C-alpha cells in the first residue's frame, strides 16, 4: 500500500508540473522579427517620407523588398491615437519615425499570431510527449518493483495465513526468475515438511487407536467365555462355597466387560474402520471357531462346511462369528443352526436362532453404529456388534445380510479364494 501511495503522489506531482508548464507557455509571445530587420524598415520609411513619397507607395516598396507586413501612421493622422492604442492592445511592436530629433510618426509591426500559435502548439506537443513518457516510466518502474518485489511478499503473506489455517495441500507458486526464488522455495519446503509431519502424526494416532480398539474387542471374547463357564459351573455345582467364588469371578468379568466396552466405544468414535489384513485361508478354520464358541452345546452344524479356500482375515472373521453367536445367546437363548453352501463366487454361511427375532422396523438399522433394537432394553450392550461385523465383512470383500424367518437369521458371504 505504501508503494501505491508513493506512485499516486509522484503522478500528482508530474501532472501539476505539466499544468504549470502549459500555463507558462500559454502566456509567452514570440515574434518572428528581429531588431535589425525592424530598424532597417524604420530607416527606409524615414528616407521615403523625407523625400516626399506617399505612405502607400512607401509601404508597397518596402514590403516588396523585405516581405514583412507593417503599418505607418503619422502624428498628424486623425486616427493616430486610435491606431497606436490598437497596436499596443494587440501586442504589436511599435517604433518611432523621426526627422532629426522630432518624432513625425510610428511604424507598427503586427504580431504574427499564426506563427505564435504554431510555435506554441509545437511546444505543447513536445511537453505533453515529454511528461507522458516520464509518467509511463515512473509507472512502469513502479509496476516492475511491485511485480518483482512487493507481489512475492503478498503471496507469502496469504500462503502463511493458509498454512496457519491448516491448509497444507496448496503449494506456493514460484517463478523461475523470481528474485526471492530461494526464499519462497524454503517456505514451500517448510509446508511439505509440516504436511509430512502431520500425516505421520495422524497415522501414528490412527495406529494406536486401531490397536486399542482391536485389543479391547479381542479381550471381550475370552471374557465372554469366562462368563459362560461361570454360568455353567453355577448351574452344575452343588457346593455353596464354589458357587460363591464363581459368582465373584462372574462379577469381576462383568466389570472387565463394561470397562472394555467403554474403552472400545470411545476409541471407535474416532475410527472409520479397523484395519483388515485379508488373505486366502482354508474353510476348515470355521469349524474351530464354532467349536470354541459352543459353550452351551447349542450350536448345530446342519450341513458340513465345504472344504475350499476363502478370502478373509481370520481374526476379524472370528470376531464376526463371535458377535453373531453371542447375540443369539443373549437375546434368543435357543439352539443355533448353521447351514453352509457355495453360491457362485461366495461361501454362504447362515446362522439361525429360534428366538422372538426383531421387529421389521428395526431390521434396516441393526447394522448402524450404536443402534439397538427395541428387544434389547433389558440386556447390556453397546450396539456395535453387527455394525463391526458388517464393516469387517465388507473389508474382506464379502457381505452380511440379516432377516427374520422363524427366528433371527444372519447370513455371511465369504469370497472364495
pLDDT tens series, the chain, 417 aa: 565 676 777 777 777 777 777 766 666 555 455 677 778 888 887 787 777 777 776 677 676 666 677 788 888 888 888 888 887 787 778 888 887 788 888 888 876 654 556 666 767 777 777 777 777 777 877 777 777 767 776 776 676 677 667 676 666 666 655 655 556 666 667 777 777 787 777 776 766 666 666 666 667 667 777 777 777 777 777 677 777 777 778 777 777 776 676 666 556 555 555 678 899 999 999 998 898 888 778 899 999 999 999 999 998 898 899 889 988 888 888 899 999 999 999 999 999 999 888 888 888 888 887 677 766 666 666 667 788 889 889 999 999 999 998 889 999 999 998
CA 257 to mean position of chain CA atoms = 47
Tell me how far apart the alpha carbons of residues 213 and 271 are, in angstroms, rounded to a whole number.
9
Query: How far is 371 from 386, CA to CA, in rounded Å?
Result: 9
Q: 259-281, pLDDT tens digit by residue? A: 676 666 556 555 555 678 899 99
Note whether 340 and 413 are within 8 A (CB): no
196: left (phi over 0), alpha (psi -120 to 50) or beta: alpha
For 352, the enclosing helix (H) or strand (E) is: strand 346-353
Confidence (pLDDT) at 209 = 65
Helix axes 35-51, 55-66, angle to 10 degrees: 140
Q: Residue 71 in contact with residue 108, Cβ under 8 Å?
A: yes
Distance CA 180, CA 170 (A): 19
Output the nine-digit C-alpha cell for 334.
435357543
pLDDT in tens, 40-72: 888 887 787 777 777 776 677 676 666 677 788
Cα angle: 119, vertex 31, 16; to 5 degrees:
45
What's the predicted TM-score (pTM) here? 0.44
Topology of the domain comprising 276-417: Heat Shock Protein 90 (3.30.565)
Any idea where the domains of the chain sit in the sequence?
1-32+131-162, 34-111, 199-275, 276-417
Q: Dump strand ranges (E) for 75-140.
A: 93-99, 102-109
Q: Cell digits for 274?
A: 479397523
- Return the C-alpha cell found at 250: 462372574
The backbone torsions φ and ψ at residue 378, rounded to the nearest 5 degrees and listed phi first, read -100, 10
C-alpha cell at 190: 517448510
CA nearest 45: which of 35, 36, 34, 56? 56
Q: Quick one: pLDDT at residue 342?
A: 94
Measure the CA angle with vertex 406, ends 369 and 325; round to 5°: 45
Q: At what angle do helices 181-236 and 240-268 cross, to 10 degrees?
A: 160
The span from the CA of 127 to the CA of 114, in Å, is 20
Of 159, 163, 182, the C-alpha closest to 172 is 159
In this prediction, residue 411 carries a pLDDT of: 96
> What's the CATH number of domain 199-275, 3.30.70, 1.10.3470, 3.10.20, 1.10.287?
1.10.287
Quick one: pLDDT at residue 174?
A: 61
Amino acid at each position: 500500500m505504501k508503494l501505491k501511495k508513493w506512485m499516486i503522489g509522484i503522478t500528482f506531482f508530474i501532472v501539476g508540473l505539466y499544468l504549470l508548464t502549459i500555463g507558462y507557455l500559454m502566456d509567452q509571445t514570440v515574434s518572428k522579427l528581429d531588431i535589425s530587420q525592424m530598424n532597417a524598415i524604420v530607416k527606409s520609411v524615414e528616407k521615403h517620407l523625407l523625400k516626399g513619397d506617399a505612405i502607400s507607395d512607401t509601404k508597397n516598396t518596402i514590403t516588396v523588398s523585405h516581405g514583412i507586413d507593417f503599418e505607418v501612421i503619422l502624428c498628424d493622422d486623425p486616427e493616430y491615437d486610435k491606431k497606436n492604442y490598437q497596436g499596443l492592445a494587440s501586442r504589436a511592436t511599435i517604433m518611432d519615425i523621426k526627422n532629426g530629433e522630432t518624432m513625425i510618426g510610428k511604424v507598427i509591426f503586427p504580431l504574427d499570431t499564426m506563427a505564435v500559435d504554431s510555435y506554441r502548439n509545437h511546444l505543447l506537443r513536445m511537453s505533453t510527449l515529454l511528461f507522458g513518457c516520464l509518467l509511463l516510466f515512473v509507472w512502469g518502474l513502479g509496476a516492475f518493483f511491485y511485480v518483482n518485489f512487493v507481489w512475492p511478499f503478498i503471496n507469502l503473506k496469504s500462503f502463511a495465513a493458509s498454512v496457519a489455517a491448516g491448509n497444507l495441500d496448496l503449494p506456493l507458486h514460484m517463478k523461475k526468475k523470481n528474485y526471492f526464488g530461494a526464499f519462497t522455495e524454503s517456505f514451500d519446503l517448510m509446508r511439505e515438511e509440516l504436511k509430512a509431519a502431520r500425516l505421520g502424526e495422524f497415522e501414528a494416532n490412527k495406529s494406536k487407536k486401531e490397536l486399542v480398539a482391536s485389543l479391547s474387542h479381542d479381550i471381550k471374547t475370552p471374557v465372554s467365555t469366562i462368563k459362560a463357564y461361570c454360568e455353567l459351573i453355577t448351574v452344575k455345582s452343588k457346593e455353596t462355597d464354589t458357587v460363591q467364588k464363581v459368582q465373584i469371578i462372574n462379577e469381576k468379568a462383568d466389570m472387565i466387560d463394561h470397562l472394555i466396552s467403554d474403552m472400545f466405544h470411545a476409541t471407535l468414535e474416532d475410527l472409520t474402520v479397523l484395519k483388515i489384513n485379508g488373505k486366502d485361508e482354508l474353510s476348515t478354520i470355521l469349524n474351530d471357531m464354532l467349536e470354541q464358541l459352543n459353550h452351551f452345546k447349542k450350536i448345530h452344524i446342519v450341513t458340513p462346511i465345504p472344504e475350499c479356500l476363502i478370502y478373509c482375515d481370520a481374526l476379524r472373521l472370528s470376531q464376526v462369528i463371535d458377535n453373531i453367536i453371542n447375540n443369539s445367546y443373549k437375546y434368543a437363548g435357543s439352539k443355533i443352526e448353521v447351514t453352509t453352501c457355495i453360491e457362485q463366487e461366495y461361501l454362504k454361511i447362515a446362522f439361525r436362532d429360534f428366538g422372538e427375532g426383531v421387529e421389521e422396523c428395526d431390521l434396516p438399522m441393526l447394522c448402524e453404529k450404536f443402534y439397538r433394537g427395541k428387544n434389547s432394553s433389558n440386556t447390556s450392550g453397546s450396539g456395535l456388534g453387527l455394525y463391526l461385523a458388517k464393516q469387517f465383512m465388507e473389508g474382506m470383500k464379502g457381505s452380511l445380510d440379516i432377516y427374520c424367518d422363524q427366528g433371527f437369521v444372519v447370513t455371511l458371504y465369504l469370497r472364495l479364494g
